[in-house]
A and B are shown apart, each in its own frame.
Chain A
Amino acid sequence: MSNYTFLIIGKNDNPLYEKENAYVNQYIVHSSLDIVEEHVWKSNNMYLKVIDKHNKFNISSYVTASHIKFMLLHEKKDEDAIRNFFVEVHDLYLKILLNPFYAYNSPITSTAFDNKVKKLGTKYFN
């Protein structure tokens, strides 16, 4: 499942971080936010599992306590891998939040974060 798209979306529907992307995928992820909004109050979990589908793509989502949404666009369903991926990215995201120079809900520009997320991606989805 090397073919995946990952985005972190802020409170104002603005992407904070994205793994390189095609514009159609951005549209798909953005449109799935509607469904995330529906699901987020129905569950106690941060991991919302597969919430939406668009043709061959599945969209999984993970919403942090501060309503930052992690969106993963993937083809194959592998819930465990996706859950672990989300949890670890959440961990990384929390570390970014601890950085006093990072403002909440602003784009993440850290290259270290980028590298680590990519590494996680290869770890779980290859």
Chain B
Amino acid sequence: MNSNQIQHQQLQMMQLRDIKYTLNSWITPSVLVICSPNVSKIFQKSGNSALEEILSQYVLDKKKLSVRVGESSYDINDFKLNFVTFKHLDPQHYEQVLKDNAASVDTLATDEYHSNFQLRTKQDVPYFHKICQEPTPWFERYRHNFIKSSHNLELETFSHPIACILAVSSEDSNPIGMLVKMFDSSKPPPLFQQYNIDANIPKLYMLVHPEHSHAESDKRLAEMKQTFGSNQSYLLRVNSKEDYCGLSYDQSTAHLNPLTNIINEIISKHIPAYIEKTILELNENIATNKKSFFSKVKVSFRFGGNKKANEQEVEQANSMGSIEQALRKVADLYFILQDYEQSLSNYKTLVKEYNSDKSPNYYASVNEMIGICNLLLNKECESYFEIANTYYQKASLNHCLARVTMIHGDILKRKNNYKLLAELYKSTAERENLDAFCSAILFEQAGFSLLQISPSPLFRKACMRIVMAGDKYSEYSKQKHALRCYSFSYSIYEGRDWNLIDDHLHLSLVRYSFFQGHTSDAILFVNKLLERNCQSPEKQNSIIREFLYISKTYTKENYIGELPIPSINNESISVFLNDYSSDENQAVWQEMEEAFKKEAQIISKPQLQGFDLWKRDLFIEKEKERTAVVEEQITVSVELKNPLQIPLQFNRVHLVATFKEISDDPNSAIEESNMSPLDDEAIAKMDSTPFKVEPMDILLGPSKTKRITFTIQPLKPGLLQVKGLGLCMCGAIWGKREFKLKQKRLNKTKAQRESVMYEPNLALTFRVTSPMPRLEAQFIDFPNALYHGELKQAKLLLKNCSNKMGLKNVRVRTSHPTSICFGSNMDDASVIKSLDTSVQLNIELPPNATVLVPFWVKGVNVGRHPLRCLVYYESEAGNTDLKYRLARCQAQFDVRPSIRISSLSQQSSTDLNAYLLGVEIDNPVIGGGGESFHLKQISSISKYWKLEPLSYAGDVPNPSIVTLKPGQFTNLFFRIVPSAPITKQIQDEISISNISFLANDPMYDASSFPVFPFLEYEKLGLDLLQNGGGNSNSIFNSNNINSSSSALTNPNSTNDQGGNGNDHPNHIDLLVFWESDNHLMGVLNSPNISFLPTHYNDSLLSLPWGSWKNTTSPTGKNHMIYPSLKLPLRYQIISEKVVKHSSFETQPLCTVPVTLQLSNCSFTSVLELSIETLLPHENIDQTSRHTSQYFWTGVTKYTIKLAPQQIVDLQLHACFSQYGVYNINRYKINVTLSNDTHKDIFSTTQHLINIEN
């Protein structure tokens, strides 16, 4: 578009805005063009045009018209003519004109008044005016076209033709006869008669001569000139091969064009002559009839000097016209001559003649003309328009009414009287039978006028008018206009609970959004429409029907994109792969899976410490998509809900996904998806696509929710992303429902914090990798129930399901590592060193092979246990994407209580290197049905110690004491003695002592498989419990902290503190073997039974003494306390018990030698001691107030060092002065605990000496 054209358009817009310009184009005289059928055909053929159209081009330029009427002469510089045909004059044609008018502004129509504007409150209105100064640019053009084309032949004589062009073709057989017939003034066409149109108008005769025709045009023209006069006859040569017959208007060549000549002649000769003549005649007529005129006697008058043969008829026709018509005609002609004063005075005379009640139409029309004259003369005119308005209403002339409304409206707008303007537009727009488009335009204008009212715009009313405009536009099926109106007004009602308005608007918006191709908006509004769900089921049914109908009609290939229903519970989406599945105890599995990941060294999380922790976000590993294997199904389970009150049918519901091949060049990657209707054709082709889905039909009842599982099978390696569901709604329309997964808000970088960014959720993205073997695992002979401690053998069946690939490197991890021990005997056992490592099975499975792995189960903790077992394996071929795969199997077993063991340990009072162990075993099940247990054997495992029976020697005297019926218990006592001569060297071998209760029975080997590994596992488990899963080396760390203050920190022995030095040797592991009547056997372990020297008078060093402790833990929850070896000192007094003394009179003192034996129980530390006897007046401790009856002689103080495991005898001498029994306890041992802490130890055991006569 060049600048000239733009300028032209702008100029046109400016002109259109001027109502005077519009009025002038309305009151443009017209020339009737009548063509013979042949002529019409010629023009039709070349460029689909018509003669009148070509003629119109010639009057676009300013033409001059000079008319002299009486004394006054008129020069009109810009004279315009309309060329019309009968068709145009016919009121029947008016409908089409209105339609054309409506269509003429289509190009100007917009979807929105202003994009992204939402009117919600009054405060938004000024802003709207600011951003959108001209919301309806089409209005002026429409107004122009509407007014210009609105003619009423009955009321307005300026629309009567003032000249006539008759055209015949030279090929017509009798052109002259035809011309005569075509328009006979004496016998005018019916239209002329009906509306009393003056038939005596100048006529021009035209002979159209196509260039290729051989007809004798010149001869015909001569004939024509003879018949009609040379001034009125023309020849028109046309070239039918060119557009517009080569007659199209061109300024440069216009003077050569025959049509220019014709037009010029019409304007310069024929029309002025006609106007002059007519005005003179009419004026004369009016003057002669003045008398009768005032007396209101209607007299026929004649005008026009063309007295022809049918004079009578003409007279009759004219007599139909009245003096009023003459007046009107004169006024209109003056108006055409732009003599508005003259015209006005005529109109004013005329208006008096009409009775407003009898002929409201004439009355209104004349008032309108008066108004227009006043307007053009810049005088007051509104009152006349108001009258015209009222009487047009009365006469039901809706289009005249609309016209006068528009003219009046323009005046009101200029005066800024928006309130009245809105009312005027509204009342006109509401007229029934008014053209709907016109009505819509007026409603819209009324709305914007209401918005213009200041200071408080009536924005709610405005929105209502605009909605009404929308209704009218939709009535006229102008969808773009309707959508604009509805969406503009929607914002004011949105979210304010106007239920019926909402329904109305939503429904309309759905329709028109669809019509306009805004499918996503349409879906949005369908959602909103159905969201409230307050419509009756019937209404919903019809909404759905309409939705289906519209979407089917307006979408390509029946595919609509996102559907509004069913609703998907996005939180319920869960994915199952063959490798991964979900159950309620997902956490347990996950823990094990993580552990395997760690083992396979797939994750390399940096260990963060100190300040790095601030930046730990940076080190969090990016979540990776999961790996799926080609040809193995992926299962997605989703909850679908029908939110409506009607049942809904969905056909061929399937997963939709996109598939991308992985390649280095991201551009070359081809992306494929199945987001198109899954019709039969698509199903047939599915084998060649990169993935395969399985469709299913679903029927959802009203407000029903269903969990449905879909599958997808990848067929090629690549990146597969499941997007949502594709479905066919009610068998009619295809669409999809996307899954909206929750995404994590990113918050790491500044950019992420400032904008709202989300991490992609990879839950539905899969990296499809090349084929892998698939292992299935299953427990065989797994016991349902076990007694506490019972041992049973079971098997794990491993099967390679792949028929192509072998697998290797099988590892197993279980949820109960202490209860399972793989292997059948010592040789093939797979024992783990720590509980968080997996069991490596030395297995390789070729394709389709099966293997049975034996293992032992032990009931460790009482209760019901779901045993989960995760099997790790790798492909023999190797796979970089998926290093390993996991198989799961699980079993459930009960552990019932069997027997309980409590133990008591105590230092021996006779032997410094021996301890006492009491074992109480009870069968706690009370009541019927309990099992009887027979104790078979008791074994101890320790590095330095062994057990000796104490209660009996050799065999059990009575077997009943080792048989425990329900509710019974038994006590057994043992002595713990060193297993070998104590050396300083630390033994590596463990010593095992087995004590059988029945000599004849075979012995169990406590160090054999699987008894020993289970003990080890149990100990590891206890360590884990104690240290909260810390590493096993730090078992005694906690004790270390307690004892650090009291530890024996001999400067020399500090090096011994670490490692085994802390693991005090005074403990044994006890195993009790039992059998039941049903030949079940089991072992109960009591690991780590400690026995330590005790020092009772010092709370820091003492231990609870003599109490039974549960040493088995049926629940596994007992917190075993490891007592620490705080002071590895034992001592005892050895002396004669009875001393004979002859007489104290002769020998006043009796001296008894006493040996104090001191033993260092420690294997590592050296003890520094000083032993002192007490003076008679000294108290043993703060509490005792007794003074001594004996005293010490000889050496009373020793300072010694005790090497590990050393026993020293010290000689002391007690002196007695009376007979009696004495407690030899008056000494103290001072122990150096560390450099500056010393501890006094007083004897707490009594050693009695009887001094007898």
Residues of A participating in the B interface, judged by any CB pair closer than 8 Å: 12-15, 21-23, 26-28, 30-35, 37-38, 55, 107
Contacts and interface: CB of A to CB of B under 8 A. Distances in A.
B132 interface: no
B430 A27 contact: no
Contact of A26 (B458, B459, B465, B500): B500
Contacts of B501: 23, 26-27, 30
B1162 to A, nearest CB: 77
A90 B460 CA distance: 25
B836 interface: no
Given A12-B496, A14-B497, A15-B497, A23 B464 contact: no
Interface string B427-469: 0001000000000000000000000000010111101110100
A26 B492 CA distance: 13
Given A23-B504, A27-B501, A55-B430, A34 B460 contact: yes
A101 B504 CA distance: 32
Contacts of A31: 458, 460-461, 463-465
A22 B219 CA distance: 76
Contacts of A32: 460-461
A49 B456 CA distance: 21
Nearest to A37: B456
Interface string B484-510: 000000001100111111011000000
A23 B460 contact: no
Nearest to B500: A23
Nearest to A21: B500
B496 A14 contact: yes
A30 B498 contact: yes
A28 B461 CA distance: 8
Max count, chain A CB within 10 A of own CB: residue among B458, B463, B467, B493: B458
B414 to A, nearest CB: 24
A31 B466 CA distance: 11
A33 B500 contact: no
Contacts of B500: 21-23, 26
A107 B499 CA distance: 12
Contact of A34 (B430, B461, B467, B498): B461
A26 to B, nearest CB: 5
Contacts of B492: 13
Is chain A's binding surface mostly helix, strand, loop or mixed?
helix
A37 B461 CA distance: 12
18 contacts: A13-B496, A14-B498, A15-B498, A15-B499, A23-B501, A26-B501, A27-B501, A30-B460, A31-B460, A31-B463, A31-B465, A32-B460, A34-B456, A34-B458, A34-B459, A34-B460, A38-B456, A55-B430
A28 B456 contact: no
A23 B459 contact: no
Contacts of A21: 500
Contacts of B498: 14-15, 26, 30
Nearest to B501: A26
Contacts of B467: 27
B464 A28 contact: yes
A28 to B, nearest CB: 7
A13 B492 CA distance: 9
A33 B863 CA distance: 72
Contacts of B459: 34
Given A12-B496, A14-B497, A55-B430, A33 B464 contact: no
Contacts of A28: 464
Contacts of B497: 14-15, 107
Contacts of A38: 456
A12 B121 CA distance: 10
Interface in B93-149: none
- Those 8 A-B pairs whose CB atoms lie nearest each other, nearest first: A23-B500, A31-B464, A34-B458, A31-B461, A14-B496, A34-B460, A23-B504, A27-B464
Contacts of A26: 498, 500-501
Given A23-B504, A34-B461, 15 more contacts: A13-B492, A13-B496, A14-B496, A14-B498, A15-B498, A15-B499, A21-B500, A27-B464, A30-B493, A30-B498, A31-B458, A31-B463, A32-B460, A34-B460, A35-B458
A30 B464 CA distance: 8
Max count, chain B CB within 10 A of own CB: residue among A31, A32, A35: A31
B760 to A, nearest CB: 39
Max count, chain B CB within 10 A of own CB: residue among A23, A38, A107: A23
Contacts of A30: 460, 464, 493, 498, 501
Nearest to A30: B460
Max count, chain B CB within 10 A of own CB: residue among A12, A33, A34, A55: A34
Contacts of B463: 31
Contacts of B456: 34, 37-38
Contacts of B458: 31, 34-35
Nearest to A20: B500
